[in-house]
Amino acid sequence: MTRSVRYLAFAGCLISLAWTASVCAAAPVEGRVSAVTLYRGQAQVTRVVPIEGAAGRLEVVVSQLPEQIVPNSLFAEGGDGVEIRAVRFRTRAVGEEPREEVRKLDDEILAAQQELDLTTKRQALLVKRTEYLAKLEGFVAPTAQADLTSGVLDAEALERMTTFSFAQLETIASEEVELAKQARVLNERIELLNRKRAEITAGASQTLREAVLFIQKKAEAPAEVRLNYLVNNCGWSPSYVMRAAADRNNVQVEYSALIQQLSGEDWNDVELTLSTASPTLSAAGPGLAPLHVMLASGDQVAAIVAANGPESGELNFSIPMQNASKSAVQGRISGLRAQRSEMSQAIGNAGNFADVNRFSWSLNDVASSYQLLELGCSLSELRSESFDDGGGPSISYSLGRGVSLASRTDQQMVRIMQAAVDSQFYHVAVPVLTPHVYREAELKNTSDHDLLAGPMTAYLDGRFVGQGELPTVARGERFVVGFGADAQLRARRELVNKTDGTQGGNRETRFEYRLVVENFGNEPTPVRVIDRLPHAENGADIRVTLGKTSDKLSEDTLYAREEKPMGILRWDVDVAADAAGESARLITYDYGVEYDRKVVVSLPSTKEVQQQEFEQLQRDRQKR
């Protein structure tokens, strides 16, 4: 240790001793949880701690901090009359569990265990009574035999003794059954109580967690300090209910939050804020390191794989992937993205220089691995799996005061908002896939809140019609919600005609189809009828031509831009009331396919890209 370091350490000890000599210590206080910002996996809790006593240096101990507290997340804020000098976290072992709810469970477990012990002793006593009766029987039977031989047998006494013995045995049998039942019930109760205790004290021990505040009180008047800390094992997720009335003029959107709260402390009458951001304690952001690269031959890469096992080519992010499959590239990018998210949260919670540097290096390592993919993979492979998805928007919902959330295992629900939004209802028929016709509503988010992606439950005319998922919707944005199948409509697809011919070296085939939509209801209904043409991967090899259609294709902008070039056909038609059988709504069209007559038409052997393309189209359909 250098002289300067020894001097600084000595000076620190002197300052600490000086503070200790002049400080006024008070009895521990708990304070009151006044505000909570709930994130997706953590929460920032604010406690208001009263500061009493004379002006001067004070050491305030805030007790009963929860089990799931993040120790290095503590910080305090004072008002005009209080100056915060330092905040420290400490733990103390105690003889009993400090939480009231756990102490109650411990008392119940102890009482049940004592009752079980008493039941066990009673069972043991029954065993002794049974043994005694057996010994009594062993004495009575030989004596009766001897008396009978001698001619002095007292038959009446023998009968009374026999009756008494059998009555006692019957009583013992009944008591054994009853005590066994009691023991089974008590064991089940103790097991249940122990499970409850384990759930609310997961990872905890008989330890008291405290914050020590070193403060300077400037005046005699009472003051307050806000103690803030992060807790784990809590979070929230969005949930929606869509209700449409019979007139279909608007849809009632109910936006709620499903909350998991198992932090170890109850939040009573708090000011609650829900946030999609990540809590950040570190004042410094990650630093960028140089990207060092080198050339590696195929033999060197093979040696790395041989040394680390056959799976290292998929898992080792330092190995180039020039010849890797698209699915392997996607898997690697997905893994890198998960690592980056984890490290970003870790650096946000880092409280010292060493941790910030350590997590910064991990982030640099992840980014270097992705940049290696940029150097070695094609653009289409890189675009197939986004690395910079950003994790969605950072949104906060302030619910105000008066929210109470107990620390318990089951989920709790609070409402974020409720609003009526304008709607445009229509039906969708895809007869190539299903004869059912589904109801959809195009809505516009006219509320004051952005809507996060989450599960949705739909009701129509007060009846449950199905479940779905809502995409993330910004304020003012349009989106589509499904309201289940309509039993009053049916659709089917019929192949009317097919002709084959040749022209030169090509084969020409023409198809004629009829799409039938039936409406058994008593009101006209707008229906979007959707079908498709073959979409050639290589237009020079296969030519697909749409011929005549009985109805004009939809002029919807999104459809014309995204789906029509992919061979999707869509007609927006009105189906009259009672349109069934001969009066059903018909749509006819034909198309031709021309290709070399020496080959046949087949489906692509790999469908991963097509599946991603389909999923993207579905997401686009939800957002208008």
Q: What is the pLDDT of residues 39-91, one digit of tens each?
A: 988 999 999 999 888 888 989 999 989 989 988 889 998 877 889 999 999 98
Q: Average of pLDDT values for 510-527?
A: 93
In terms of domains, do 325 and 377 share one? Answer: yes
Report if residue 283 sits inside a domain: no
CA distance 535 to 544: 7
In terms of domains, do 59 and 108 share one? Answer: no
CA distance 276 to 189: 40
CA distance 131 to 344: 72
* Interval 345-354: pLDDT, tens: 676 666 666 7
Q: Average of pLDDT values for 320-328?
A: 60
* Interval 578-620: pLDDT, tens: 999 899 999 999 999 888 887 777 776 666 666 777 777 777 7
Cβ atoms 590, 511 nearer than 8 A? yes
Judged against a pLDDT cut of 50, whether residue 1 lies above it is answered with no
Tell how strand 436-444 and strand 32-38 pair up. unpaired
Q: Average of pLDDT values for 517-526?
A: 93
In terms of domains, do 192 and 209 share one? Answer: no
SS3 letters across 473-513 = ECCCCEEEEEEEEEEEEEEEEEEEEEEEEEECCEEEEEEEE
Report if residue 232 sits inside a domain: no
In terms of domains, do 111 and 88 share one? Answer: no
Q: What stretches of 151-244 show up as alpha helix (H) in DSSP? A: 155-200
What pLDDT is recorded for position 298?
63
Q: What's the length of the chain? A: 624
Token output for 167: 């009555």
Report if residue 278 sits inside a domain: no
Where residue 238 falls among pLDDT bands split at 50, 70, 90? very high
Note the pTM of the prediction, 2 decimals.
Answer: 0.65
Find all residues with CB under 8 Å of 75, minimum gap 6, and list them.
Answer: 87, 228, 229, 281
Report if residue 313 sits inside a domain: yes
Domain assignment of residue 448, given as a range = 423-622
Token output for 215: 């403060």
Give, as one character, the DSSP assignment of residue 559.
I
Cα–chain-centroid distance for residue 36?
20
Report if residue 251 sits inside a domain: no
In terms of domains, do 471 and 584 share one? Answer: yes
CA distance 502 to 402: 78
Report if residue 39 sits inside a domain: no
Cβ atoms 570, 533 nearer than 8 A? no
The packing angle between helices 155-200 and 100-150, to 10°, is: 160
In terms of domains, do 328 and 184 share one? Answer: no
Report if residue 111 sits inside a domain: yes
In terms of domains, do 499 and 527 share one? Answer: yes
In terms of domains, do 367 and 437 share one? Answer: no
In terms of domains, do 502 and 555 share one? Answer: yes
Domains in the chain, number: 4
* Interval 493-504: pLDDT, tens: 999 999 988 887
Coil, helix or strand at residue 188? helix
Judged against a pLDDT cut of 50, whether residue 248 lies above it is answered with yes
Where residue 409 falls among pLDDT bands split at 50, 70, 90? confident
- Residue that is last in its domain, among 165, 200, 235: 200
The string of DSSP letters for 300-323 reads HHHHHHHHH-TTHHHH-TTS--TT
Percent of the chain at pLDDT exceeding 70: 78
In terms of domains, do 566 and 550 share one? Answer: yes
The string of DSSP letters for 26-86 reads ---B--EEEEEEE-SS-EEEEEEEEE-SSSEEEEEEE----TTB-GGG-EEEE-TTEEEEE
Judged against a pLDDT cut of 70, whether residue 540 lies above it is answered with no
In terms of domains, do 447 and 539 share one? Answer: yes
In terms of domains, do 495 and 349 share one? Answer: no
Instruction: Give percent helix, percent strand, percent coil of the chain, each to the nearest 5.
Output: 35, 35, 30
Cα–chain-centroid distance for residue 600?
48
Report if residue 522 sits inside a domain: yes
